Amino acid sequence: MVHLGRSFLPLSFALIDITVLPELLLRLVVFGLILLISYVLSRVFGALVYKAFGRANPTFARQVRRVVTWIIWAVGVIFGLGEIGLDLTLLLVIVALTGLLLLFAVRDVLANWGSYEAVQVYKPFKIGDWIQVGESFGRVVDINYMDTVLMTSDNETVYIPNRKITQSTVINRTTLGGIRISVLLTVSANLKLSDVEETLVEIGNDLKEELAPDSKPEVRVVNLKEQSVRLALLLRINNPAKARLIASEVRKRAKDRIDKLRQNT
């Protein structure tokens, strides 16, 4: 009797394992089918989304297709794990909590990435453009998922977080007609204003090689005082990197020529 009892227990456990095995295999097959369906749906809906938006804006269409694909795969995996036997409610709670923790941990990364996508879609500037963001001014040399990289006229590299790009006023100074610089000068009120203006225009014309095509130097009166007059020589130049150099050259030439005017007065 004892011998029969000992031999019966392993046999019963073997029967239980054999009974459970087909059900487990069936659930794994269903899980695999759900993943396969998720793959097919992601490709189909991704293609439809890209076809619908691709002609108007290919970059925007790629981003929407990516989001749709992620959503379909997330739903498929959750339901697939539920079919295996995991508690779907508990699984959703775990996924939600994990997602919140990850979002908190990478919130800056996500903000920069989202801003990068916005820049790629709306294209307020491109690589090679000269832009002003806050106090930073330079030529765009790179746009990555985290930063927009500027090279200043002093050959300094400035890394601006993409989220700051979308939160700040961005001035794109690159136009077909170059960028305009204003060189401020103060002269004595005793000098004849028309002579000074003519002199400044001549200086601007002497720098014609640096000026944008079809542009002309202009002179504006900024401020009038009893003993001095503040003027601005406006020049539209081709290369923003030379702005300081050109302004320095204008001031040098202006001093020499205005000194001569003062001597002739």
Mean pLDDT of 11-24: 56
pLDDT for 9 = 47
Q: What is the spatial distance between Cα 166 and Cα 9, in angstroms, rounded to a whole number?
A: 70
Kindly indicate the confidence band of residue 71, based on its pLDDT and cuts at 50, 70 and 90. confident
**13 pLDDT above the threshold of 50:** no
CA distance 114 to 112: 5
Enumerate domains of the chain plus CATH numbers.
Answer: 11-105 (no CATH), 124-172 (2.30.30.60), 179-264 (3.30.70.100)
Distances (CA, A) of 140 to 60, 137, 180: 22, 9, 18
Nearest by Cα to 199 from 133, 261, 114, 119: 261
- Quickly list H helices, 85-176: 88-105, 107-122, 162-167
Model confidence band, residue 250 (pLDDT cutoffs 50, 70, 90): very high
The answer to whether the pTM exceeds 0.85 is: no
pLDDT digits (tens, 9 = 90+) for 119-159: 888 888 888 888 889 888 888 999 988 889 999 878 889 99
pLDDT at 129: 86
Query: Model confidence over 195-216: pLDDT tens digits?
Result: 999 999 999 999 988 888 888 8
Q: What are phi and psi of 214, to 5 degrees?
A: 65, 20
Contact indicator for 151, 241 with CB cutoff of 8 Å = no
Q: Are 217 and 197 in contact (CB under 8 A)?
A: no
